[in-house]
Amino acid sequence: MQGKILWADDEIELLKPHILFLESKGYSVDPVTNGMDAIDKVQEKSYDIIFLDENMPGISGLEALAKIKEINPLVPVVMITKSEEEYIMEEAIGSKIADYLIKPVNPNQILLSIKKNLDHSKLVSQKTNSNYQQDFRQLGMLLNGRLDAQEWSDLYAKLVFWELELDKIEDSGMREILEMQKKEANHLFADFIEDNYLDWMNGTGDAPQMIHSLIKDKIAPKIGKEQLAVLVIDNLRFDQWKMVEPIFTKYFVKEEEEIIYSILPTATHYARNAFFAGIMPSEIEKKFPNLWKNEEDVGGKNLHEKDFLEANLKRLGKNVKWSYHKITNVEAGKKLGDNFNTIKDNDVNFIVYNFVDMLSHARTEMEVIRELAENEAAYRSITVSWLEHSPLLDIIKKIADAGMRLVITTDHGTIRVKNPVKIVGERNTNTNLRYKAGRGLNYNAKEVFVVRNPQEAFLPKIKMSAEFVFAREQDFFVYPNNYNHFVNYYSDTFQHGGISLEELLIPYIVMKARK
């Protein structure tokens, strides 16, 4: 049997051909002629879907709907009416009906409504799987070609699209195939970065848009022409952006969406400082020797972003009214929201919001967060839930109310690591699991990307013979001492600093306020 249907209509005898049609399709139909009988039936047994005439003797369809929803809030109810009056539609929709049909209805209309409500998941699953199977071959052909930087961005966007589409369906078969395809893509992307990154840095290769020149190339031309808010959500991956995008589109219209490149290491210390300074880390160290901190230096590594930004804006000739705010906790977020009037007349306001980065670290350190974000889909879902209930949402609304253009970007992404790679270093080697910087590092050169001369990657030369070593794909560095403990502790955690699609390819969005 396909499903159990209750149909309430005072002219039910006239609908006998419709009922016979549904029964021929394998559905069981209980007919009643009024709202009270419909309520009694719902109390007696469970139905998969209910068709309810709006205008019946005794209690109305809307009144019956309210009682039925009290008994079984989850059952889909389709309202059928002769009336096209707007208030009835609004009442019915407000009561969370599953569909709304105007009489006269034909059997195929009824069947479509049933399929839309009862078979929706199955039909969507079948269609999504079929569409991905077709795209799988095309994506595979692209991976076998020689992609340039822009083509890698486009391919990653497609992989993220399918990841989110397949998340919506119950069948996990295609999801596993996509994971394999994404793993292959990450392997080839790491090869691509190894082959091209240093050429980009030194001007011998055709570099894509990168984070250290983003203010100069994309943001500065907008400053002074219109009021602007630049929101840097630390550690925001492109897939997380696509999940929170619907929240933003309630208040803004998207004008631009690009995937740009972060820098190595894909870590806040390097990438975010480079974003604000508009120059690479080794250049920051030369220009600001008293402000830049190297790996072995004591103290916070991102305490001078405002100073770097001020120098950058001055260099770009932007003599404008601006502000910089770093939000690292709920109270700071609320305070900015409460005091938004003090900055709403500025030409440009830069806001750094740190939640997503804290989420990835908390997931490593706290068992309860690990369980809440046990996989990629759950990790994305927590990001959405956070934004919906965070002070940032209030700030976003106020940016929209002020009519500002909104730029959204990040400094780097993060990847779920799975494969331990052994490395040995001196006692003072940095602790990041995705990159190591120092002297005397011992590793398998086939497993990593090595920058033996940091100056080639515009990274500070920490000591003589110091080098940078980057983990690829889903690898993470583990010292041989206490190896098993660290493998168990860090496997399946979200880390950043190395080379992967998720870490290096980051969102850049421009939106205008809805009027």
99-133 pLDDT tens trace: 888 888 888 889 888 888 877 666 567 777 778 88
Instruction: Identify whether residues 291 and 349 lie together within a single domain.
Output: yes
Query: Same domain, yes or no, for 40 and 169?
Result: no
Task: Determine contact, residues 331/354, Cβ cutoff 8 Å.
Answer: no
**Domain boundary residue among 201, 234, 261?**
201
Q: In this structure, are 10 and 104 located in the same domain?
A: yes
CB 466 within 8 A of CB 430: no
Domain assignment of residue 298, yes or no: yes
- What does the pLDDT read at residue 469? 96
The four Cα atoms 65, 70, 75, 78 give a dihedral, to 10 degrees, of 10
**Would you say residue 495 has pLDDT above 70?**
yes
pLDDT score at 369: 64
| 256/341 same-domain check | yes
With cut-offs at 50, 70 and 90, classify the pLDDT of residue 176: confident
| pLDDT at residue 379 in the model | 84
In this predicted model, which residue has the larger pLDDT, 440 or 150?
150
Same domain (yes/no): 224, 163: no
Asked if the structure places residue 185 within a domain, the reply is yes
Gap between the Cα atoms of 61 and 74, Å rounded: 17
CA angle (271 as vertex; 269, 275 as ends), nearest 5: 120
Residue 117 dihedral angles phi and psi, to the nearest 5° = -95, -35
pLDDT in tens, 208-242: 999 999 999 999 999 999 999 999 999 999 999 99
Q: Is residue 90 part of a domain?
A: yes
Q: How far apart are CA 196 and CA 173, in angstroms?
A: 35
Q: Is residue 438 part of a domain?
A: no
Residues 309/273, Cβ–Cβ less than 8 Å: no
Same domain, 106 and 138: no
229: CATH: 3.40.720.10
Same domain, yes or no, for 338 and 275? Answer: yes
Asked which of 118, 150, 176 is the last residue of a domain, the reply is 118
CATH number of the domain that residue 84 is part of? 3.40.50.2300
Residues 61 and 149 in one domain: no
Secondary structure letter of residue 359 according to DSSP: H
DSSP state of 205: S
What is the model's pTM?
0.82
The model's pLDDT over 245-293, given as tens digits with 9 standing for 90+, comes to: 999 999 999 999 999 999 999 999 999 999 999 999 999 999 999 999 8
Mean pLDDT, all residues of the chain: 90
pLDDT at 73: 86
447, part of any domain: no
Residue of 49, 69, 68 whose CA lies nearest to 4: 49
CB 378 within 8 A of CB 358: no
Does 298 share its domain with 390? Answer: yes
Euclidean distance between the first and the last CA atom of the chain, given in angstroms as a whole number: 51
Three-class DSSP category at 509: strand
Q: How far apart are CA 515 and CA 245, in angstroms?
A: 18
**For the segment 157-170, what is each residue's pLDDT rounded down to a tens digit?**
999 999 998 888 77
Q: Please identify, among 70, 86, 118, the residue that sits at the C-terminal boundary of a domain.
A: 118
Boundaries of domain holding 160: 123-201
Q: Look-up: residue for tokens 């006269």?
A: 104
Residue 10 CA to its chain's centroid (Å) = 49
Residues 301 and 197 in one domain: no
Give the separation between CA 238 and CA 164, rounded to whole angstroms.
11
Position 455 in a domain: no
From CA 292, how far away is CA 294, in angstroms rounded? Answer: 7
Residue 423 domain flag: no
How many domains, the chain? 3
* One domain for residues 165 and 253: no
**377 Cβ contact list (under 8 Å, min separation 6):** 167
Task: Summarize pLDDT for 273-284 with one digit per residue, the tens.
Answer: 999 999 999 999
- Cβ within 8 Å of residue 291, ≥6 positions away: 284, 304, 307, 308
In a domain, 270, yes or no: yes
Q: Are residues 67 and 157 in the same domain?
A: no
